[in-house]
Chains A and B, each alone.
Chain A
């Protein structure tokens, strides 16, 4: 029944269209219709680009310029600030644990804490998960058999511009709120830390070795 109704409606619309064409041809000579009262099918020859309201919803020109990123340009290391006598440079707060929810919640907590203290957080990322298989010696025999599979998760929060007078306070707060099972370490950010995140490209390395 619905299909039949639909067919009826379509037919009705087609007839309507023909009538509208006829109407618009008649009226185009006199004036161009500026308003579309009722159905938009009434005015099919819309001169919308010439109307004063053209571009009424434009917003793209208000957004900040986004430079087009080629794939090769995207991965570029940010400048690692060295730090002065009174402030640390880029620091990595690394949190490692076997329990993913725990380490993620702790990383979120550290991030929010730094926001609260107005410490600039540059990045907050995760390192790839490492899977460890725990092998246990069999009691009767000398064969190793797999006992458990452990996954190690690491989250890193990178901060910058930590003043030397505030650093002990921040470290103590983070340490005293450290949950059980999470290993915490605060290190200075180096290029090696950045390179560890990138995938190794064996073909490229091979070609470079061949070239040189």
Chain B
């Protein structure tokens, strides 16, 4: 729960100082001598808090089985079929086949019966087979896969896709997860929701799984940019699942991508990537 500490402590170091003094008030005198220096050191590092959003599009089809899994599945299926009892439909079909065979042997009796419009089990099966032939499943590898169009959501239907945006941080253009700076009076989760709203307008419906952040990345600014108030920034990541909608296609074509976990390495910086990889759960 060290992740929470940054959010729970208020932004200003001024609030921190009296609390810390109260904490070490009961300390031994030799410690108290160190007190002022410690307090001065504690008041200085102030971190900018940032809420970032890890928006994931969940997969819509299951991944293909590996060859061993496929073999095992077939073997288990065969064992199950051989061990199982006949269903009603199969019993009916066997009985009808038996009847037909008997009728072929004694053609004289009961010829009228077969002429009636009884739907045989075999006919039903043929009808079902025809219906099945007419059914066409959707393609597993879509057009977007073939073109490797990373801005489309139709790609890689068996994996999680994450949203990355290109933003200007300092004087560099960096690829990172969409983020927004924390403002006083709001929770970090609402910061992440605000980041989503500013990015997409109202087009995207996302479901946040909880109020707790899933990851943390902290970095210090380069010496030139460090001020009295901010030494660096702490980015808290929040996970959300995409329910419906997409980014408006017209604007910012080059500025965003939907990537799977394997492709993150092409875009993110190494330190950032290690922290992000810690909370990603798919392969």
Contacts and interface: CB of A to CB of B under 8 A. Distances in A.
Interface of A: 164-165, 167-169, 171-173, 175-176, 179-180
A169 B280 CA distance: 10
Given A176-B58, A180-B62, A164 B281 contact: no
A169 B241 CA distance: 13
B212 A168 contact: yes
Contact of A173 (B59, B210, B281): B281
A31 to B, nearest CB: 63
A168 B210 contact: yes
B282 A176 contact: yes
B210 A164 contact: yes
Interface residues of B, number: 15
Interface in B51-82: 58-59, 61-62
Contacts of B234: none
Contacts of A173: 281
Contact of A175 (B1, B210, B214, B241): B241
A172 B212 contact: no
B62 A164 contact: no
Interface string B1-39: 100000000000000000000000000000000000000
A171 B210 CA distance: 9
A173 to B, nearest CB: 7
Contacts of A175: 58, 241
A168 B160 CA distance: 16
A93 to B, nearest CB: 14
A169 B61 CA distance: 21
A164 B211 CA distance: 7
Interface of B: 1, 58-59, 61-62, 160, 209-212, 214, 239, 241, 281-282
A180 B140 CA distance: 14
Nearest 4 Cβ contacts at the A-B interface: A168-B210, A168-B209, A165-B212, A167-B210
Contact of B281 (A167, A176, A179, A180): A176
A168 B211 CA distance: 8
A165 B1 contact: yes
Contacts of A180: 61-62
A172 B211 CA distance: 14
Contacts of B211: 164
Chain B interface helix/strand/loop/mixed: loop
A169 to B, nearest CB: 8
Nearest to A171: B209
A168 B239 contact: yes
A164 B212 contact: yes
19 contacts: A164-B210, A165-B1, A165-B212, A167-B209, A167-B212, A168-B209, A168-B210, A168-B212, A168-B214, A168-B239, A171-B209, A171-B210, A172-B209, A173-B281, A175-B58, A176-B160, A176-B281, A176-B282, A180-B61
A176 B212 CA distance: 19
Nearest to B59: A176
Contacts of B282: 176
Contacts of A168: 209-210, 212, 214, 239
Contacts of B210: 164-165, 167-168, 171
A56 B110 CA distance: 75
Contacts of B212: 164-165, 167-168
B1 to A, nearest CB: 7
Nearest to B160: A176
A179 B239 contact: no
A25 to B, nearest CB: 62
Nearest to B212: A165
A136 to B, nearest CB: 11
Nearest to B214: A168
A34 B196 CA distance: 88
A180 B209 CA distance: 21
A94 B58 CA distance: 20
Residue among B1, B210, B281, B282 with most chain A CB within 10 A: B210
Given A165-B1, A168-B210, 9 more contacts: A164-B210, A164-B211, A165-B210, A168-B212, A169-B214, A171-B209, A172-B209, A176-B58, A176-B281
